[in-house]
Structure 1
Amino acid sequence: MPSPPPEPVRHGGGDAPRPAGHALAGGRRTADTARTVLFAARSAVALHRLLDTLPVFAGDHRITRVFSLVPGSDFSTDALAALEAAGARTVPWSEALGTPYDLTLAASPKGDLHRLRGPLALLPHGAGFNKSLPSDGSPRAASGLDAAYLVRGGTPLAALHALAHPGQIDRLAARSPAAAARATVVGDPTLDRLLASRGLRDRYRAALGTGGRRLIALTSTWGPRSLLARHPGLPARLARELPLDEYRLALLIHPNAHSDAGHHELTERLAPALAAGLTMASPYEEWASVLVAADAVLCDHGSTALYAAALGRPLLSVCDGGAELIPGTPMDRLLAAVPVFDKPHDIADAIRGHRAERVTEAAAAAFAEQGNALPRLRARLYACLDLTPPGTPLAPRLLPVPRAAAPLPTACAVRTRVHGTAVSVVRHPAADDPEDHPGDDGPDAPAGHLAVEEDAAGAHLAQGAALLFRRARGGPDDAAWTAAGWIDEAFAAYPGRRTVAAVLAPSLSVLRRRGGPLLAARTEPYEEAGRIVRPDQAAVLSALHAWLTATPDAAAPTTLTCTVGERTYRVQVAEATEEQARREL
């Protein structure tokens, strides 16, 4: 590996010495110590990488941070919006070009960075340098390691290349020995945020509403070889075909693709999948929180898959990168080591057969110095600034808890099988047309019915439902229904309904089949490996509806066993008490 970089060179400003004391420290100019650092972002993805380095300067009153948007990218819109949302101090690019800065940080070598005055530190804008973009840069050169951008007029663009792995320096040296002489390995600050946040996995999963389900993340990079470009219907297909009580889905979209289409357009394109329970993660930070929470990942050749591999997650390849993917790169090696996705059942097989070392070994080719990126980066950047680093502890900022996940579908197509007091339930999101759902077929065959959350679904679905239910809102209401009162009202409003129910608590519901008594069902949680798992009460209600349909003369109290997914729950059924009947919805 090359030796540490020499003293930072000044580019764009000739041999003029670096002006000192541009910033305010402690409310006055201090020529000896004040420094101004410019964060130059060309796109949202580059900005996100720079934001992950902010702890390097945290708490240091000698440093003033300024941001500017480097013009020329088709994907800059979201970067500007993110800066405004963060309240960051920004300067126009024209002003940045006319101001000498003590240090500039960038995560893309593209644009007119050579026109800036002062030393430049360059970080990667992804993981692994895996892509070659035929329409942008030198043929077969890895994006980010292309000498056409890294060397201007025979002079290296950057005073420092802060890379994530020694192999990246070797690849850079093959293209530009002069640039490689200024490169050093610091690690990957973004990966270190994911690794540091692993202890928050349960919080992330709770926010995403996984319960006992497996969380499957779909990752899509940008461009014509991405997962969404090649398989645009895959999220909706998986949402329809994966059992609702066994899986939750989340989609992680590359910031460039998000910027290109815009949030509104993506929401419209993905409307069927979102209605079926898909969560679309934010392209900054939230994608990483979801990755920490995920149980498995379906990927393309985007570098998000390498972060998933570093976490040891099971991966399945949905599509390769074609001519964009450079042979022998970490991503190429990773895709060769993981199964290829073909049908939904492949996901369960991949999870069962997963060996973490297979994917972590592939990721090791992209990430060195795991857990040490910020201290190593701080030492290098403060050397560029000719300052002694502060002695305060340095740690990655933990990833935030995701926003609330997309709600579960409010109408489900349900298949059940009844054997005495044992009932199995499989639910899928319902089609919008209730005529597409089969009716009950009797006790000897899988029976189908439509279950609808009455006050959350369309009236046309409620009209066709065999099971109609509501959930208690959990807060005071000046004019709330009682459970029994609403059930009676629903029977009057929907002639022909077979079963109407109210979910009162995570383990308690009341229900009545037309003409029958008001029953209460209490579900015992399932305990596995020290964890308590509860089913969605709507799934239990479908089991009870199927049992009451198959055995109309059955008497309560009784105990049912209800199998939902891979777990079997005991359900105590008895006539409802007066207190349960009067519970508020």
Structure 2
Amino acid sequence: MLFSAHAALAAIDLVIGGMAAARRDGDGAGAAGRGSGIGQRWLRALLGPEAESRSTRAASRTALIVVHTVTALTRLMDVLPAFLGDGRVRLLFTVIDGSPFSTGADEFLADLGARVIPWEHAVTHRFDLAVAAGRSGPLHKIRAPLMVIPHGAGYNKFKQETGNRKQETGNRKQVYGFAPDQLLHEGRLVPRAVVLSHAEQFARLSRSCPEALPAAVVGGDPCFDRILASRHRRREFRGALGVDPGQKLVVLTSTWGRGSLLARAAELPARLLAELPVDEYRVVAAIHPNVWDWHGALEVRGWLAEAARAGLAVLPPREGWRAALVAADLAIGDHGSVGVYAAAIDRPVLLAAGDPAELDPAGSTARLLALAPTLRPAFPLRRQVDDAISGHTSGRYAELAAGTFALPGESLATLRRLLYGLLDLPEPATPARARALDPPTADGAPPTAVWVTTTVLSPAAEPAMGPAAEPAAASAAVAVHRRPAVADVPWYVDPPGTDRHLAVDIADTDPRLLESADVLLRGVATPGYPAAEWTADVLTDHPGCRLAADVTIPGRLALRPRGGPVLEFRHLPPTPAASVLASAAYAWIADGRPLAGLVDAGVEIRLGSRLLRIRGAAPSDDATPSNDAKAGTRTA
């Protein structure tokens, strides 16, 4: 079977999402950047006269892809589909010398299986084309027609002084990408083509570096086009991120540097998770690749550890943030480009940080800071989140989007036309179109310890979710609200008329929570340790526990109150977590009602805007597999 361009694109997306297989030693495909150890003989073969005789397909042109950072490489990967499948063009990659955030780029290229040559060798050979998504470093050394593209939502931030985090403080601040020292070398214009995402940038480029105007061309934004091409997959993306029906998805995003959300609102991730009920919200974090590259994954995950224990899901640095925006109900961010992309697809935006001093006032990010509401940390967060979602007016950011992204849906075709013009080749016959993104992946799990407030209500009138004919009318309803137990909310007060208890999965690693639990749950069955034995043992080992709950199969739960027998229940639908059912049963007991009374009548559970139903499941009601048979089954 032929390896198609579509298959190649799918493979690239898989790697970008962080799911690629580990790098194979000795395959010759992943020697990345300056520390690759590529032999001189291999380089001579690759770049010298021998290359043509050894190639399986005879390429008439060679393009050099110049990589600065992971962010820059992800933008370049949105452009490279212009070449895929065209055997006339050979692609070589190099990591530019002097980039402070290049470590992740080296690893990324290795995972892609890209053919990489060291920078010091790249600048000694001639190429037919070079493409870069950054402006820093000695680009003037490249011996090829150079095309430069944006690596954000247009051109927004001021250029920084070399070697520190301060902005340039001369008579005039320079916009990164438009600064004369990034575009000119000894008075000569370095790039052959300077791609703008919108025509408004001509005026700003003219003010900064008029010598570059002849090379400027509007090419749109291929990154934005891929987001647009993915909007029909919103429900699929929400499911991939673990968003249940009725839940709201909040995407928390931080750029890098001292003005970012992680720098100025470091406590926000944990606090947001603490204040938002577990079953009504899902929170996903998108952290700028430069943060991961500079600090390392160990340190970044340490910053987010408390929030992660409370249920925060963290997207991989290479990809996922765009699909998360498609899926989102709200984006909370700072002065990075992600907020602009969120606004451009009509998502509500809340600003939790941002440094206007870093931004060109005429850029799209500065305009977003002036338009979007600001999160007020001195006030409870849930109401602000809900108000931002419910108060959002569709089209609020339409003018911002129209003034930032030209040629929507046509960027790749426009850029391919430019690229092949520089290569002096006719374009391939196949159309160039932006592809939809793949479903995102995120690292994170629901909290294993939750504070639960409950209220026993009169019977609910609404129909429960699930098959209409399943249970008869329930004898009562229980309202359940769950919050992570690993984070405190200083001003949180339980609503009047509610009871609070602590529900903990036996897999939780905090002994204090396990000893304090009112409800203990086993979400993963243990071979040879059936529910009747486990529930009895856990109540003996934890004298403060009043109810033990054990998942038998998804949608079924064995419950044993202290001093009582084991009873089995089923819940419809089989999600969300079985601990919700256990907490509803606990509320029933705490209200002075016998658990056995639920076997026939059942109970309805109000979980935010959702309505669930549970009822008893007698041993003869379906063939219930034993825990031994279902070992390894996880909580629904």
Whether the 8 Å CA contact 2:450–2:485 is kept in 1: the answer is yes
Structure 2 Cα separation of the partners of residues 581 and 46 of structure 1: 52
**1:525-556 deviations in whole A, cap 9, x for unaligned?**
4xxxxxxx943221222111111121234623
Q: Which amino acid aligns with 2:483?
A: H
Aligned to 1:200: 233
Q: CA deviation at 1:446?
A: 1.7
Structure 2 Cα separation of the partners of residues 91 and 221 of structure 1: 30
Structure 1 Cα separation of the partners of residues 81 and 157 of structure 2: 29
Aligned to 2:92: 66
Aligned to 2:564: 516
Identity of aligned residues (%): 39
Q: Secondary structure at the match of 1:344?
A: helix
Q: Which amino acid aligns with 1:428?
A: R
281, 287, 300: which one pairs with 1:253? 287
562, 565, 576: which one pairs with 2:605? 562
Q: Secondary structure at the match of 1:181?
A: helix
266, 290, 299: which one pairs with 1:265? 299
Q: CA deviation at 1:321?
A: 1.8
502, 505, 511: which one pairs with 1:450? 502
Aligned to 2:31: none
Structure 2 Cα separation of the partners of residues 299 and 129 of structure 1: 18
Q: CA deviation at 1:91?
A: 0.6
Q: Which amino acid aligns with 1:219?
A: T
279, 299, 310: which one pairs with 2:344? 310
Answering whether residue 440 of structure 2 is matched by residue 402 of structure 1, we say yes
Pairing 1:347-386 to 2, within 5 Å after superposition: 347-386=385-424
Answering whether residue 455 of structure 2 is matched by residue 417 of structure 1, we say yes
Structure 2 Cα separation of the partners of residues 426 and 197 of structure 1: 34
**1:356-389 deviations in whole A, cap 9, x for unaligned?**
3112332222111111111110000000000011
Structure 1 pair 25/448, CA: closer, same or farther in 2 (3 Å)?
A: farther
Structure 2 Cα separation of the partners of residues 292 and 335 of structure 1: 21
Answering whether residue 586 of structure 2 is matched by residue 545 of structure 1, we say yes
Structure 1 Cα separation of the partners of residues 135 and 496 of structure 2: 67
Answering whether residue 383 of structure 2 is matched by residue 345 of structure 1, we say yes
Q: Secondary structure at the match of 1:417?
A: strand
Structure 2 Cα separation of the partners of residues 523 and 535 of structure 1: 9
Pairing 1:25-64 to 2, within 5 Å after superposition: 27=55, 34-64=60-90
Structure 2 Cα separation of the partners of residues 60 and 201 of structure 1: 32
Q: CA deviation at 1:502?
A: 1.8
Q: Which amino acid aligns with 1:186?
A: G
User: How many residues get paired?
Assistant: 548
Answering whether residue 201 of structure 2 is matched by residue 160 of structure 1, we say no
Whether the 8 Å CA contact 2:310–2:486 is kept in 1: the answer is no
Pairing 1:417-566 to 2, within 5 Å after superposition: 417-420=455-458, 421-431=476-486, 445-472=497-524, 479-525=527-573, 534-553=575-594, 555-556=597-598, 557-566=600-609
Aligned to 1:121: 147
Structure 1 pair 361/444, CA: closer, same or farther in 2 (3 Å)?
A: closer
Whether the 8 Å CA contact 2:455–2:478 is kept in 1: the answer is yes
Structure 1 Cα separation of the partners of residues 138 and 563 of structure 2: 77
Indicate the RMSD between aligned Cα atoms, in angstroms: 2.7
Which segment is superposed worse, 308-317 or 569-578? 569-578
Answering whether residue 355 of structure 2 is matched by residue 321 of structure 1, we say yes
Structure 2 Cα separation of the partners of residues 205 and 21 of structure 1: 52
Q: CA deviation at 1:404?
A: 4.9
Structure 1 pair 306/432, CA: closer, same or farther in 2 (3 Å)?
A: closer
Aligned to 2:614: 571
Structure 1 Cα separation of the partners of residues 145 and 224 of structure 2: 26
Whether the 8 Å CA contact 2:316–2:442 is kept in 1: the answer is no
**Alignment TM-score, normalising by the size of structure 1:** 0.87
Q: CA deviation at 1:21?
A: 9.0
**1:258-277 deviations in whole A, cap 9, x for unaligned?**
21111111011211111111
Q: CA deviation at 1:109?
A: 1.8
Q: CA deviation at 1:61?
A: 0.4
Structure 2 Cα separation of the partners of residues 129 and 396 of structure 1: 22
Answering whether residue 255 of structure 2 is matched by residue 221 of structure 1, we say yes
Structure 1 pair 419/315, CA: closer, same or farther in 2 (3 Å)?
A: same
Structure 1 Cα separation of the partners of residues 567 and 120 of structure 2: 72
Q: Secondary structure at the match of 1:166?
A: coil
Q: Which amino acid aligns with 1:27?
A: S
Whether the 8 Å CA contact 1:22–1:35 is kept in 2: the answer is no
Whether the 8 Å CA contact 2:260–2:334 is kept in 1: the answer is yes
Q: Which amino acid aligns with 1:415?
A: T
Q: CA deviation at 1:411?
A: 0.9
Q: CA deviation at 1:582?
A: 4.0
Q: CA deviation at 1:29?
A: 8.7
Q: CA deviation at 1:219?
A: 1.1
Whether the 8 Å CA contact 2:309–2:486 is kept in 1: the answer is no
Whether the 8 Å CA contact 1:471–1:503 is kept in 2: the answer is yes
Pairing 1:80-229 to 2, within 5 Å after superposition: 80-133=106-159, 135=161, 139-212=172-245, 213-229=247-263
Structure 2 Cα separation of the partners of residues 535 and 304 of structure 1: 30
Which segment is superposed worse, 45-54 or 224-233? 45-54
Structure 2 Cα separation of the partners of residues 538 and 35 of structure 1: 61
Q: CA deviation at 1:300?
A: 0.4
Structure 1 pair 256/372, CA: closer, same or farther in 2 (3 Å)?
A: same
Structure 2 Cα separation of the partners of residues 539 and 114 of structure 1: 62
Structure 1 pair 134/73, CA: closer, same or farther in 2 (3 Å)?
A: closer
Structure 1 pair 361/21, CA: closer, same or farther in 2 (3 Å)?
A: farther
Aligned to 2:8: none
Structure 1 Cα separation of the partners of residues 255 and 103 of structure 2: 18
**1:326-359 deviations in whole A, cap 9, x for unaligned?**
2232222222222211223211111111123112
Which segment is superposed worse, 558-567 or 384-393? 558-567
Q: CA deviation at 1:484?
A: 2.8
Aligned to 1:293: 327
Q: Which amino acid aligns with 1:514?
A: R
Q: CA deviation at 1:573?
A: 3.9
Aligned to 2:276: 242
**Alignment TM-score, normalising by the size of structure 2:** 0.81
Whether the 8 Å CA contact 2:588–2:594 is kept in 1: the answer is no
Which segment is superposed worse, 199-208 or 537-546? 199-208
Q: CA deviation at 1:569?
A: 2.2
Which segment is superposed worse, 358-367 or 368-377? 358-367
Structure 2 Cα separation of the partners of residues 152 and 209 of structure 1: 50
Q: CA deviation at 1:406?
A: 0.5
